[in-house]
Amino acid sequence: MKRHFNEALAQELLGALLAQGGDFAEVYWEHTSSQSLFLEGEKLERLSGGEDLGLGLRLVVSDRTFYAHTSDLEPESLLELATRLARGAEGKPGQVEELLLREAPVRFGVRQPPSQVETGEKAQLLHILNQEARRAPQVRQVTASYGNVEQEILVANSLGFMAQDKRTRVRLVVNVIAEDQGKIQTGYESIGGVGGFELVATGAPQMAQSARERAVMMLSARSAPSGQMTVVMAGEAGGTMVHEACGHGLEADLVQKGLSVYADKMGQRVASSLITVIDDATLPGRYGSFAFDDEGTPGQRTVLIENGILKSYMYNLNTARKENRESTGNGRRDSYRSRPIPRMSNTYIASGETDPEEIIAATENGLYVTKMGGGQVNTTNGDFVFEVTEGYLLQNGKIGAPVRGATLIGNGPQVLSEVDLVGQDNGFSLGVCGKNGQGVPVGDAQPTLRIPNLVVGGTEGV
């Protein structure tokens, strides 16, 4: 179903892009169908579907990138657009290699393609979420949503690479709102990943229960403490911390522009020797997995930090070219509307050797984090924040009273150097990561970790 597009047209467009020279040209074709269902107020009310078809053209002339995108796929208007972009270069026509289709290194199985599942069956999941989530008198509102995306891409470039990929993703989300004496708290859960309907077909009752229990429990939670303290992050809490504390700072575009605290640190110690950080697009079923990145480079496993030593940054084709090395397969974009930039896939801190229970028992006082929400980083100075959506006080090595949400703030290199205990466990979370206005699906994970000093942004005990 390569609508309005084929190899010959790709070859012709690449030639038009390089008509006045340039170092690299690329054509990216995409067709995405999506469906979403949304339930709120006990009613299934927003059902939508759609298709997005378009093309992105890229021309690189030394350090300059020229990019254009359009959803008008008439060959004449595509050629006109390519010619407009080509004006960025001034010289003799560049060389376009003959296109050769690349083999996918991994294939992610899709047992139940979402397009073949009845809308009624998807709707049923939302009704289950709604019913299960309402099994507590404090619950005032439940929102539940289901979404699936089937994306087909074809990317071809002047180096002769051509790759085709088909990605199927599903996601199921529930948000429970509980109220007691005017106080409102919420509980959120999501499941899904790269794959078919099978990834969400059975998990609804359990996720609704977790979200409900969290919302209700948080009603009785006290305000989070304020100030510096020891923080233990459970493996099940997700991986927002690693994503913010070092992930973004290891993206090559930020490093090359000198906008990362990790610039000029290759081969140096940037974390405790207990810390190994890996980015791996080839993990089956994870939300950030892919066979090819959005430039046609096969997805890879890249060791970023090994036993505390900085081993690699994450590259796309353009940043790799500047250092005369290979892309690490991290060139991603949110759609044909954006040019690819270095992005994470599934990023995690490798498991350590300590029993998580021992870590708790060994911690006199502090905060125990069992669920993380979103985060953000200032890569220039390394400061990052992440949200705690479920946490408890630690008192004399035991888990104590629950505390309400708070943001934790730390400095990436400092925090990773201070981690003094690493658990044997690991738990993935999924999210949509935003950078330069582009959202891409990612997975992240970390084992149970102890950080001796982190600022907790609560309101108590000031």
In whole angstroms, the minimum distance from the beta carbon of 261 to other proteins comes to 8
What type of residue sits at position 229?
M
Q: In the complex with other proteins, which residue's Cβ is closer, 71 or 273?
A: 71
- What binding mask, one character per residue, do residues 385-404 give for other proteins by CB under 8 A, x or -? xxx----------------x
In whole angstroms, the minimum distance from the beta carbon of 128 to other proteins comes to 15
Q: In the complex with other proteins, which residue's Cβ is closer, 111 or 135?
A: 135
5 binds other proteins (CB under 8 A): no
Residues 6+ apart with CB under 8 A from 246: 262, 270, 271, 277, 304, 305, 412, 413, 416
- What binding mask, one character per residue, do residues 331-360 give for other proteins by CB under 8 A, x or -? ------x-x---------------------
d(CA 9, CA 352): 51
Q: Using CB under 8 A, which residues numbered 432 to 461 contact other proteins?
A: 436, 455-459
Q: Which stretch binds other proteins (CB under 8 A): 195-203, 221-229, 269-277, 309-317?
A: 221-229
**Structure tokens belonging to residue 2:** 């390569």
Q: In the complex with other proteins, which residue's Cβ is closer, 227 or 284?
A: 227
Binding test (CB under 8 A) with other proteins, winner from 79, 128, 149, 177: 177
Number of shown-chain residues binding other proteins (CB under 8 A)? 81
**Structure tokens belonging to residue 185:** 């708290």
Crossing angle of the two packed helices 75-86 and 7-17, in degrees rounded to 10:
30
407 binds other proteins (CB under 8 A): yes
**Structure tokens belonging to residue 367:** 């905060």
Quick one: which of 325, 321, 299 has its CA closest to 312? Answer: 325
384 binds other proteins (CB under 8 A): yes
In whole angstroms, the minimum distance from the beta carbon of 455 to other proteins comes to 5
Task: Write out the H or E segment, with its range, that includes residue 174.
Answer: strand 161-180
Q: Using CB under 8 A, which residues numbered 117 to 156 contact other proteins?
A: 119-120, 123, 140-141, 143
User: Bridge-partner residues for 446, per DSSP?
Assistant: 427
d(CA 327, CA 325): 7
Phi, psi of 270 (to 5 degrees): -125, 0
User: Hunting for tokens 């493996």 — which residue is that?
Assistant: 235
In whole angstroms, the minimum distance from the beta carbon of 445 to other proteins comes to 19
Binding test (CB under 8 A) with other proteins, winner from 203, 285, 374, 427: 374
380 binds other proteins (CB under 8 A): yes
Q: In the complex with other proteins, which residue's Cβ is closer, 2 or 46?
A: 46
Q: Using CB under 8 A, which residues numbered 28 to 87 contact other proteins?
A: 37, 40-54, 63-72, 81, 84-85, 87
Q: In the complex with other proteins, which residue's Cβ is closer, 9 or 408?
A: 408
Contact 329, 299 (CB under 8 A): yes
Quick one: which of 150, 152, 127 has its CA closest to 197? Answer: 150
User: Bridge-partner residues for 269, per DSSP?
Assistant: 309
Q: In the complex with other proteins, which residue's Cβ is closer, 309 or 385?
A: 385
**Structure tokens belonging to residue 11:** 């070859």
319 binds other proteins (CB under 8 A): no
Q: How far is CA 362 from CA 14, 367, 394, 397, in A?
A: 61, 13, 10, 6
